[in-house]
Amino acid sequence: MRRLLLLLLLAPLAGWLFTSPAVAHDATSTAYADVTGSGSDVRVVLDLEYDLLMKSAWLYADAYRATDRAEQERQLGKNFEAVSTYVVERFQVANGDQRCVGRTDGTGSITSRNDRAFVRLSIDYACPTSSEARHAFYSSLFPDEENFVHSTKTVLTYDVDGHTGAVTLDPGNPQLDVTDAPEGSVTPSSSSRAGHLWEFGKLGAEHLRLGPDHLLFLLALLLGVRGWREVLLAATAFTVAHSVTFALGSLGLVTVSPALVEPVIALSIVVVAVLGLVSSRWSSQPGRQAEVSRPHSRWQLPVAFGFGLLHGLGFASALGIDEPGSWELVWSLLAFNVGIEVAQVGLILLAFPVILALRRTKLERPVLTGMAVAVILVGSFWVIQRLPVTGDHVAGALPWLGA
């Protein structure tokens, strides 16, 4: 029974480690669009997941399976015409009742979001002249019928014809008419603040739910605490820290390269799991029960707060809003962060009672130690994978592994 329970608890961790990028995309995807312009000239800068874009453009496996950045850039240049044709057809701009003609600038680049490769494309749209500028945008990027992902969202920020704001487009609401949207709106189907909060709140919750590194960090934190008071303090420290850097990073006031942030986020998982493992073993020694809270109080709050600052920068890169001084998007940032917190509380309420129950049984030491070791192994692999020097080599040598 011990071995069976241990296997059931470790299975999700093994799944995170031994899941290929292709399988991860069976869930959903988020595209990012930044729109600027007025009158007859509109520019759209799109960030789209590299391998998903290559699949959707119906390219060969050597294109969408490329993991080395230099090879990805080579494949993008080689297949740029097919890629740009797909994107221009799937992301449309209109002025009045007439469709604008989109043309890419002939080049694209590879960037990184949430430890995934994205293609950045710039498209210039020439729009028919109109007595009154009335631009609308439509996204059908990565639709369900392609069978690669489902329920794709496009996070669109715009500064067009004097209108500014942010919106999430999805299969249920694929279009935005900027002249009908209230300033700073975030849902094309509702002009209310409630609709605003709901759309970006869902996006924040989904990011935490689908972000294995952030989930694993929280799990590592839970493995090292022994009561609800400690959970409350550690979760509060983590929340305050990542909320600060999330806001600063999303508004472009603080900028840190993902090449630094992503490996350190993975390292934070390892450090917290090791500290939790050591302190749990310390507290289980004879005569230590009366002092059980002391070793935890020494590391929980500073570690949770310090690494929370880095996780906030990771959350900011997921939202994709990085224009300095975009204060009209403050409500978008708040809603996204609220969504993260709701998902975080949900994880704690689900996982921590199970951990507490295990602590009251003879299974505590073998099961929780096994889970901590598994977390350390997964986090260590991600650290190696995300290092600029070793990451591409690891992914190239072991393409069946991925975070």
pLDDT in tens, 86-97: 999 999 999 888
Kindly state the DSSP code that residue 388 receives in the 8-state scheme.
Answer: T
CA 170 to each of CA 19, 24, 343: distance values in angstroms, whole numbers, following the listed order: 26, 19, 21
Judge whether 386 lies within some domain.
yes
CA–CA dist 112, 223 (Å, integer) = 31
Judge whether 336 lies within some domain.
yes
Judge whether 23 lies within some domain.
no
Who contacts 370 (Cβ-Cβ below 8 Å, separation ≥6)? Answer: 6, 9, 10
pLDDT above 60: residue 5: no
Domain match, 211 and 141 both: no
Phi, psi of 117 (to 5 degrees): -80, 130
Domain match, 181 and 295 both: no
Lowest mean pLDDT segment, chosen from 28-37, 86-95, 267-276, 379-388: 379-388
Domain edge (last residue) among 191, 215, 250 = 191
113: enclosing H helix or E strand:
strand 101-113
Angle at 334 between CA 329 and CA 335, to 5 degrees: 100
Domain match, 172 and 287 both: no
Specify the higher pLDDT residue, 196 or 62: 62
Domain match, 217 and 356 both: yes
Kindly state the DSSP code that residue 253 receives in the 8-state scheme.
Answer: S
Q: Please report which confidence band the pLDDT of residue 238 belongs to, taking 50, 70 and 90 as the band edges.
A: confident
Domain match, 90 and 134 both: yes
Structure tokens at 175: 């279009």
Residues counted in the chain: 403
Q: Which domain holds residue 260?
A: 206-397
Domain edge (last residue) among 161, 191, 221 = 191
Domain count, the chain: 2
pLDDT above 50: residue 400: no
Who contacts 241 (Cβ-Cβ below 8 Å, separation ≥6)? Answer: 304, 305, 306, 307, 308, 309, 311, 312
Domain match, 216 and 169 both: no
Domain edge (last residue) among 140, 160, 191 = 191
pLDDT above 60: residue 11: no
pLDDT in tens, 170-204: 888 899 888 766 554 444 444 445 555 566 677 67
Max distance between CA atoms of the chain, in angstroms, equals: 83
Domain match, 79 and 114 both: yes
Domain match, 159 and 260 both: no
Judge whether 9 lies within some domain.
no
pTM: 0.55
Token look-up 């300033």 returns 183
Domain match, 173 and 227 both: no
Specify the higher pLDDT residue, 43 or 12: 43
Return the pLDDT at 207. 66
CA–CA dist 304, 268 (Å, integer) = 9
Judge whether 13 lies within some domain.
no
Return the pLDDT at 59. 86
